[in-house]
Structures are given as C-alpha cells and as structure tokens.
A and B are shown apart, each in its own frame.
Chain A
Amino acid sequence: MIGKNRIQMGKVLRWILLPLLIVTAHAVEITTVLSESTTSVGRPIQFQIQIQGTSSADVPDNFAVDGLDIRFENRGINMQFDNFKLSKAVIYTFSVIPERAGNFSIPSLSVTVDGKVYKTEAQKFKVVTGALPAPSRGQSQSQQPPPIAQLLQQQMQQFQQQMQQQMQQVPGLPQSQTQRPSVPQSQVPPTQIPALDKLAYAELIIPDRKAFVGQTIPVEIRFYFDSRFRVEIVSQLGFGGEGFTAEKLSEPAEKNQVIDGVPFNVYTFKTAITPIKAGSLNIPPAQLKCVVTLPSNNPPPDDFFGGLFGQMGGMGEQREINVLSNSVDLEVKNLPKEGKPAGFSGAIGRFTLDAEASPKRAASGEPITLKLTLEGQGNFNAITEPALQNKEGWRIYPGITDFTPSDATGFGGRKTFESMLMALEAKTATPAAEFSYFDPTAEKYVTLNTAPIAIEAQAGKSPANSAPTPSASGVPADSVTPEPVASASPEHSDGASVLPTYRTASFQSVFHRKEFWIANLAAGVAFLALMAYLISVRVASGASARAAQVRRQRKKLLVEMEARGLDALAFASKGTESLEARFGSVLPEELRVAGLSDDEIQVLEPMITLHAESKYGLGRSIAELSPERRSEILTLLKQWEAKV
C-alpha cells in the first residue's frame, strides 16, 4: 500500500517538479566551499566557487591572501538533465596551501555573470602547525548525514528508484543523457572515485629502443578510460616532436578490458615514426584532453530535492583532464657504411622480392610487362623501383607503382612496380631485378635478386634486317610492328657513323611559307575568274536565245502576210504584231523614237489604224488597206528583216 502511494506520488512529482525545474534553471546562485575547515601548514585544501544557473562566469583567478598560496586549478561544469537543459553550474576550483599557522579568511570575491556582478561569501578556516589531530568520531562524520537524515535519505533513494523506473516506462518521455547505454554513468560513490591518473591514462608503446635514421618504426598509443565514468574527448590526439617524422594517426580501435577488476574502455591509435637524425631521441608523450563526469564531490543535500537530483542521475561534476602517456627514449644510429650495396636506395625493413612477366611470347614491337612485387615491413615511402640488370637490348618505358598497405599505418604492405619492356633485339629472358635494403634487426644490408624470366621476344624492325620474320604467333613481324625500332642495343651509337652529305631543309613548314599561300591565292583567283566567266556566258546565252526566238516569230509572221487570199484585217493584225515584236510598240511617237522616218510611219499607219479599229471599233472598220499599200508594207518589213 505504501509502495503504491509512492508510485502515485512519484508520478505527481514528476509532472509538477519538472516544469518547476525548467523555470528555475536560470536563477544564478553563487556559493563558496572549502574542502576542510582546519588544515596544517603546507597541507593543501580546496576552495571552490560554485555558480548555479550558468556555464560561464568571470571569476578572479589570481587573488592573494597573506600567508596562503592560492592557485587556480581548474574549471568544471555541472550539467543536469542535459536534454531538458534544466540546470547548469560552473565550478572554479583553487588549491590553497597555507604557509603559516593561524586563522585565515578567504575574502568575498566579485563574480560577474552575464554582466551582473555578484559577491561571494567569505570563508574562514584554521591552520595549525604540525600534523593534524586525528579526527574525532564526530568530526569524521561531519560530512556525513546525521543518522536520522541518513535513514530518510535511504528511504528517499528507494522512492526515487521506483519513480525513475516508472518514468522509463512512460513512452515518449526523453531519457536523460545519463541513461544512454553508450554513456556509462558513474555508479561509484564519490568517496570511492579513483585518482584522475587512474581513471584515465595512456601508454606509448614502441617495440624497440634502438633504431636507425630513416627506419620506419610502428608506434601504438593506447588510452584507457575507466568505463564506469562518462568521458568526452574534447581535443585531437597530440603526438609529435623533434627529430622524427610521424605518419598520420589511424582511426582508433576500441575494446573493453578489465584491469585489476576495473572495467576500462581502451582506445588504440596506431602510427609510425621515422627518426631523421642520429643520437638520443626522446619521443614525447601523446596527450588527449577529455572531460570526465564524476559524481559530485559535495554530498547531496539531505533534503528531498538533493535526493531527487542525486538519484535522477543528472548531478555530477565535469572535470577536464589532460591524459598523458609515457615518453620513450630511443637510441638512433646512422646506417653503417660498411657493406652498403651500390644499388641501396634507403630501404630499411624486411622485404621479399618477386617478379613475373607477361606475355611470355611477344612479337616484334609488342611490349612485355614486367611486374616486380616487394612485400614486407619497412619504410615503403622511401622505396624506389628495383634496378634491372642486363637491360641492354631492351627499351624500358616508365613504370606504374602501386602500394597496398597491410596495416593502418602503411608500415607493412606490398609495393608493385610494373614496367613495359620492348625488345630491341631478340630476347629469351627478361632482365633480372635487384633490390637492396637494410635489415635493422640483423643490422646488415641484404640484396635480393630475381632470376631472369624465360620469354620469347622478337626484335624490332631494323634497317639492316627489315625482311619480315615470322613472329611467335605466326604473324609477320612487320605487320604488328607499331613503330620502326632499330635492332641495335642502347650502346649502338658506339658503332654509328656520321653522315657524309646533307640536304638542306627548313624549319619553316610549307604551311607557313608565303609561296604556298601565293600559289593558293592564285588558284583561288583563277577559280573565281572562271566562275565569273561561266556565269556571264550563261547569262549572255540566255538573252541571245530569246532574241532568236523573236526573230523566228517575225519571219513566220512575214511569211503568213505574203499568203494569197489573206484578208486585210488578218494582214493588219499580223503586221502590227510583227512591228510590236521588233519595236515594242506601234504608237507613231514610239516608232519615231525607235528611228523610223515619217515616210515609213505614213506607210505603216493604215495597217496600224485598221488593226486598232478592228480591235476597238466593235467590228466597224473605217480604214482601208489597198493591195498597193500591203505591198509597200511587206517591202518595208522585208528590208528591216534583211538588215537584221
């Protein structure tokens, strides 16, 4: 019955208190706390300024009290109910080291929050000489709740646990950040909080303490965080120093590990360093800044709200800590000069070398791909292509290099070099490859060699040997030769002789010579001239054709006019048509303009008049055309026609 009432009460409280908390979240309240009221000379105590309702404030970080050495230690932020943003507090912690015995007072300080100045309460404490007296039972429990309050607090904790369970069962209610599984919330009582350097620490792991200049050394950096506390990483991992170069850090690998019964989250970063000078080399510690949320150092108030906050998981103190790893000292030596191979190019590590060639048969001019594979661990960045031996008679084209790392740092991996080889003379084997490196473990140089690979490669085309020869594939070599390549070896200029004669030439292309353009201009002009001529001929031939047609028409009319029995009207019609074809008009003025004399016009006039009367006189003809006049007209027309 009691439990049921508590559950009901919890529900009521939840809906009543939360809005109240939201409303009161922004009220600024400043309190000062001393960790102890009595201490001894040289024994430090903590002085805190706790400012509720804000996360930033302007607090004097350097204030002096005679006889006390006061130093600012850190600034922490307390957040409760992050999702609701209900309450926040900032805590400034100072260490106070008494320099002499006596009664001391830390004076009131001015704190500015959002432009408003607040005054803190002064705190008094006592400093004694020598060791502190053993705390009495009462004193030892001065920080503990009194027995009655302790009983009430236990009851309240039970009640709050039940209330919290009910809250988690309400759908839609956002859970506080502290309840997320990925963010472990401290279940450690404040009195059992380990030291910060035990709560979060780091290791810098380098397998060997001896190294050589240019050697790539794998490095592992492990960060351990007590998984019972919430930790937020607030900076990039800092790692680096003088005297060496470091590769880019890998993404951290995360794992859980129990150490001495304490669960830890372990984050492992990997990188590789390369010393660049000989001598003692100190690899400085890696560092990472993080904020760890600790249960509040201050016991929750012995009241209902203190218990409520303490159990709802929001109360905690955030401390920013700088997690530092150990440093490592290396002894770096220069590579020995003794036994250094001629082809050594700086490779340090342990490697294997393999070679393969394809195709195994190549026609004349067909390239062969030689693939060299270098595998192992070492400074791949500094590794260059293995040298080819006995490459006379080959033309070697620049190759392609590819690197496939086998780990996150590129310390191990496989590097391939692909080169195209073209035989300048008939070949039965590829060049051998040679690669030298320094083994830092054995401290000696090692030279790897690959055996020549058996192939059949036909020679390229040579002026002295230009007859087509059957290739391996049965195709005449000339037909697959991509370019005329001589069969001589690269050293063949030893036997080359100078040319005794020469023929002058010019570095000016025909395209850029003016003679070329003058010739083209001339051709263009001729083209245009010919085109103009042809067009004019075409036009002229059209006009003359039309004139001949008119002439033929006039002759036809003349013949018809001479026909016997032709009546006068028909004669006049044809004669007028003939005149119009010749002069374009039959009007006397127009004929006169065309050059006809008055006598000629007078001869023609009766015919023109008769035609006009027959055409416009409604069948009534007045003019007459005698045979004599018809004869005169015919004569005149014939004379003109004869002139044409």
Chain B
Amino acid sequence: MKIRLFLMAWLLGAAMSAHAASDFDTANEQFGSGRYEEAARGYHLALDKGIQAAEVYYNLGLAETKAGKVAEASLSFQRALTLNPALEPARRELLALSAKFNIEIPEATWVNRLASAIPRESWWIGGAVVAWLGAFIILGGLFARARRGTILIVGVIIFIFGKAALGLAWTSDPLIQNQDLVVLVADGPNRLRSAPVDNSETIASLAGGSTVALLSERGKWAYCASLDGKRGWVERSGLQPVIPRKPETPNAANAG
C-alpha cells in the first residue's frame, strides 16, 4: 500500500514538473515572438508550479523589462541572482536597469565575488566536512602516543579552515544575507516617510525596483532602510521580498 502511494506521488510530481517545463518552453517561445506580457505570465505559471530556478527568474525579468515593468524586472533579476549569484546575464541586466532608471541595488562586495566563484552549497558542505575532519584529527592527536603535537597542530589548522569556509558561506550566501531585503514595486514614486502616516514628511523618494532593508512592520506600514542609510516608512503593499515567502497555510493565515 505504501509503495503504491509513493509511486502515485512520484508520478504526480513528475507530471507537474513536466507540465511546468512545458510552461517554461511555451513562455520562451512567446518571448521569442515578442509577446512579452504572455511570456511573463508563462514564467509565473512555471514558478507557481514549483520550478524554482535562476534561469526562469532571469527570463521573467527580461520579459518584464520588455513589457515596461521595470520594478518587477528588478525584483526578478535579484531573485535570479539570489538563487545563482554566478548568473552573469542577470547581473548585467540588473546593472543596466539600475543605470538607466536610477534604481538602487545592493553593491556586490569582494566576499560576494569570491563566494560566487564556487557554488554556495560547496562552501557550506565543504566547510562543514573540513571542520569535522579537523575536529576528528584533534581528537586523534589528544590520544596519540607519538607525534601528538604535530597531529594537534594539523587538526587545529584544518578545523580553522573549515570554520572560515562556513563563515564565508554565511556572509556571502544571498539566501542568508538577502532575507531582510525587499524591493519597492509600487506604482509611482516610492516615498520613504518620516512616520507611518499618509501625509507625513517624505525623507527620500526612491525609484521603483530599488532595494531597501525591511526593519520592522506595523499595520499596513513597513519601516525600511535604504541602501544609503536613510530610514523611513513605506506602505507594505508596495514591497516584495527578494526571497519569496512561503505561502501561508490556511491555519497560519487564520491564526495571523
């Protein structure tokens, strides 16, 4: 019975995946024929069906750029780069959008560039493996009857390397560092206000598609910090997180 259920679930997943892949291909064809709005909808369909891929977000960003949805395109390119920091076309498109529309986007630091040279999973897994290896060597050195000092030194060095790799993974992983980043996608000027009130003073006016850090939320307002450090309130309805939030379960929604 269990085997049957497993097989049914597997077959269902495979069918949905195939369907999503079909949506992706269809959207690519629509893009090629200049139907950018339809292409964007197709990429959204593929994403909704579970294809979380940097390439899909990149294609979606291109379609949105063509369709004139600059803010949404900025969000899509940033999501693509979050999934795959080494996806150079997405970075190029995002930089172009930023320059053309004065969109504020996070600067790539040397840590990001170094980390993007190797897949982030490798940093996490490799760092953990090396750190544990170092720990085991240290343990062996503690009980060794000969060359105890040498073994301990080697173990400590390997352990430190492993921990350094884990630290680098933490600081460079966009999935960790971009957790609080949101993109302004509201129509019209995105104003940072001094208070969570509609007619309060405007601290800064940011281009649609600009990225800000979400600090806290209060009702329909979110307290954000722009990349140049200005802090103010923005309506939450005009924000989209760079890392998509999981859809709330009905129970969670009711509880909230």
Question: How many angstroms from the CA of A396 to the CA of B65 in the assembled complex?
Answer: 19
Binary CB contact string for chain B from 85 to 98 against chain A (1 if under 8 A, 0 otherwise):
00011011101111
Query: Is B102 positioned at the interface, with any CB of A under 8 Å from its CB?
Result: yes
Q: Report whether B98 and A502 are in contact in the complex, using a CB–CB cutoff of 8 Å.
A: no
Judge if A305 is at the interface, Cβ distance under 8 Å.
no
Nearest to A496 among chain B residues (CB) is B62
Q: How many A-B residue pairs have CB under 8 A?
A: 127
Question: How many interface residues does chain B have, given as a range?
Answer: 35 or more
Given A483-B108, A502-B53, A516:B244 Cβ within 8 A: no
Q: Is the interface of B mostly helix, strand, loop or mixed?
A: helix
A133 is an interface residue with CB less than 8 A from chain B: no
Q: Tell me whether A484 and B96 are in contact (CB under 8 A).
A: no
Tell whether A511 pairs with B173 under 8 Å between CB atoms, given A398-B228, A486-B92.
Answer: yes
- Selected from A496, A516, A519, A530, the residue in CB contact (under 8 A) with B139 is A530
Residues of A within 8 A of B113 (CB): 483-484
B74 contacts A by Cβ under 8 Å: no
Q: Does the CB pair A505–B53 fall under 8 Å? A: yes
Question: A534 near B139 (CB under 8 angstroms)?
Answer: yes
Which listed residue, B52, B93, B125, B136, touches A530 by the CB 8 Å rule? Answer: B136
Which of B53, B143, B169 contacts A534, CB < 8 Å? B143
User: Would you call A507 and B92 a contact (CB within 8 A)?
Assistant: no
Interfacial chain B residues near A496, Cβ < 8 Å: 62, 89, 93
Contact between B139 and A490, CB atoms less than 8 A apart = no
User: Is B164 interfacial (CB-CB < 8 Å)?
Assistant: no
Given contacts A486-B88, A503-B55, contact A527 B139 (CB under 8 A): yes
Could you say which residues of chain A place their CB within 8 Å of the CB of B168?
none
Tell me the A468-522 residues at the B interface (CB within 8 Å).
Answer: 482-486, 488-493, 496, 498-512, 516, 519-520
Do A499 and B55 touch (CB < 8 A)?
yes
Out of A395, A424, A492, A507, name the residue touching B83 (CB < 8 Å).
A507
A527-549 vs B, Cβ < 8 Å mask (1 yes, 0 no): 10011001001100000000000
Across-interface contacts of A485 in B (CB, < 8 A): 92, 95
Number of interface residues of A (CB under 8 A): 44
CA distance A519 to B126 in the complex (A): 12
Q: Does A27 contact B (CB under 8 A)?
A: no
Q: Using Cβ atoms and an 8 Å threshold, which residues of chain B touch A435?
A: none
18 cross-chain CB contacts under 8 A: A395-B98, A396-B102, A398-B102, A424-B95, A483-B108, A491-B96, A493-B93, A502-B24, A502-B54, A502-B56, A509-B120, A509-B176, A510-B120, A510-B169, A511-B124, A516-B128, A520-B128, A527-B132
Q: 4 more A-B contacts (CB under 8 A) besides A486-B91, A498-B59, A506-B52?
A: A398-B102, A484-B91, A516-B128, A523-B128
Residues of B within 8 A of A (CB): 24, 28, 31-32, 39, 51-56, 58-59, 62-63, 65-66, 82-84, 88-89, 91-93, 95-100, 102, 104, 107-108, 110, 113, 120-121, 124-125, 128, 132, 135-136, 139, 142-143, 169-170, 173, 175-176, 228, 243-244
The 9 A-B residue pairs whose C-beta atoms are closest, nearest first, are: A486-B92, A509-B175, A502-B53, A502-B55, A510-B124, A490-B100, A498-B59, A395-B99, A499-B55
